[in-house]
Amino acid sequence: MAWRIFTLCVCQLLAAALAWYLAPFGQLWTDLLVGALLGGYTWFLLDAVRGTRLLRWLRDGGADDIRLGNGLWGEVYDRIRRTVRAKDRLAQESNGRLSDFLAALQASPNGVVLMDVQGRIEWFNETACTHFGFDAKRDMLQHFGNLVRDPSFAAYYAARNFHEDVIMPGRHSTTTKPVQLSVHIHPYGEGRSLLLSQDITAVEQAEAMRRDFVANVSHEIRTPLTVLAGFVETLQTLPLNEQERTRYLGLMSQQASRMQTLVSDLLTLSKLEGSPLPSAQDWVPVAGLMEQCAQEAHELSSILNQQQHDLQFTGLAGVDIAGSAAELYSAISNLTGNAIRYTPAEKRIEVRWTLRDDGAVVLSVKDHGQGIAPEHLPRLTERFYRVDRSRSRDTGGTGLGLAIVKHVAQRHGAELSIESVPGQGSTFSITFPASRVRHAPMALAA
C-alpha cells in the first residue's frame, strides 16, 4: 500500500512539474494543481490497465505468465500464481495417486466395479469386463442390475444384506464349461458401492473333487470291509468245515489285499504331490526298467488268466532317463498292469521304447482289448474314474493307476497321451523330452 501511495505522489509531482515547465507564464499553483490531477488520472489509468490484465489472466485460467511489475497488482499476481501453482502440483499429485490406485485396481485378479447411489456403474476394471461381459464405451453409467440379470444376484441386491457374498454363474458359463463367480458388495461413502467379483471355478472344482475323493475312498474301503466283517461274523457264529473255512479265509485275504493296494496307491499319490521334483542328474537305465516290468507283467498275466497274454517288450539299449527310478517304474507298471487287466487272454500287448528324431524318447503301451469310447478319454486320469466300475473291481483295479501315471509324467517334464478306438484297443504313450534323455551308441534290445 505504501508503494501505491508513493508511486501516486511521484506521478502527480512529475505531472505538475511538467505542467509548470510547459506553461511558465501561467498561474503557478493552477498549473501545479492541474498537473497533479492529470498525474493522478494517468496513474489510475495505468493502475486500471494492470488490474484489467490481471483479471484477464485469471479468466484465462492463469496458463501464461504476465509481467505486472512491482506494486499491489504485481504482488497480488505473484501470490495468486504461487497459490495456483501449488494447487496445480497438489492436483497433479492427487491425479497421480488416483492413477496409481486405479492401475492397482486394474491389475487386481478380482473384478472391481464402482457404483453410485442408484447402482449405476462409474468405473470397472478389465477383470470385471471378463466376468460380466461389460464394454467400457457402452456400459458406463448403466445400472448394474440391468446388465447382470442373474436371479440370485437380483435377490441379493434387493435384500441389501451385504454381509456375505453370492455365488452366480459367469458371463461365459456353459453346461460343459461352467464358470462360477463369487460376488460381494461393500457399501462406502454416501450410498456408493464397491462390488468385488472372484472367479471361484477352480475352487469349486477342487471342492467337488475333494468331496468325490472322500466319497470314493469311503466307498472303496467300505465294500471290502463289509465283506470282511461278514466273513468274520460267519467264522465266529457258524460251525464250518475245513473246506469252507479255507474258502472264506481266501476271500478275506483277497479283500484285505484289495484294501492294501488301495492304501498303497493313495500313499503313492500323496508322496508324488508332496515331494520335491525328481533330480535331472539321476540317470535310470531304460533296459533295467523294462526287465523289471516284463517280469512283473508275466507274473500278473499268469495270476489273472489261465492262459497268458502275448506280451512283447521292446527297449532301447544304452538309453537313460533322468529322474526317479521308483516313480518311472510305478508309471510303467501301472500302464502294463492296466493293459493286462483289461485285455482278454492270448491277445497281444506291446510295450515299446522309441527314440524320435528330435532326441525325445517315447514309451508306448499298446493293447488289443475292447478300447475306450471317446467321451471317456478326457477323464481317464481323474482319481477313481472308471469306464466300467464293476469290471474294474473284478480285475482288482483301484481307479488310481492313471492318476499316478499322469503325476509321474508331469514331474519328469513328460507328456501323457491316450489314443483308443472301441473294439480295436488302446495306446498309452509317455513322451520324455530330449533334455531328460542320455544315450550312447544304441542297439535295439528285444
304-328 mean pLDDT: 84
* Residue 358 near residue 434 (C-beta atoms within 8 A): yes
User: Model pTM greater than 0.85?
Assistant: no
* Residue 231 near residue 251 (C-beta atoms within 8 A): yes
Please determine, for residue 365, whether its predicted confidence score (pLDDT) is greater than 90.
yes
How sure is the predictor about 68, in pLDDT bands with cuts at 50, 70 and 90? low
Please determine, for residue 343, whether its predicted confidence score (pLDDT) is greater than 70.
yes
**Three cell numbers at 115?**
457404483
Q: How far apart are CA 174 and CA 334, in angstroms?
A: 35
* Residue 322 near residue 283 (C-beta atoms within 8 A): yes
**Three cell numbers at 202?**
477352480
pLDDT in tens, 191-220: 889 999 998 888 887 787 778 777 777 777
Q: Residue 196: enclosing H or E segment and its boundaries?
A: strand 192-199
417 against 222, higher pLDDT:
417
Please determine, for residue 416, whether its predicted confidence score (pLDDT) is greater than 90.
yes
How sure is the predictor about 346, in pLDDT bands with cuts at 50, 70 and 90? confident
How sure is the predictor about 335, in pLDDT bands with cuts at 50, 70 and 90? very high
> Quick one: pLDDT at residue 445?
42
Which domains are seen in the chain, by residue range? 2-90 (no CATH), 108-199 (3.30.450.20), 205-274 (1.10.287.130), 283-445 (3.30.565.10)
Residue among 355, 311, 329 nearest 443 (CA) = 355
Q: How far apart are CA 233 and CA 217, in angstroms?
A: 24
219 against 339, higher pLDDT:
339
73-81 mean pLDDT: 72
Considering 48-57, 167-176, 180-189, 337-346, the range whose residues carry the highest mean pLDDT is 180-189
- Determine the 3-state secondary structure of 65 from DSSP: coil
Residue among 271, 210, 293, 294 nearest 411 (CA) = 271
The two counts, helices (H) then strands (E), for the chain are 13, 14
> Quick one: pLDDT at residue 134?
87
> Quick one: pLDDT at residue 59?
73
Instruction: Indicate the burial class of 335 (C-beta count within 10 angstroms; 0-12, 13-18, 19 or more).
Output: buried
According to DSSP, the residues that pair with 439 across neighbouring strands are 319
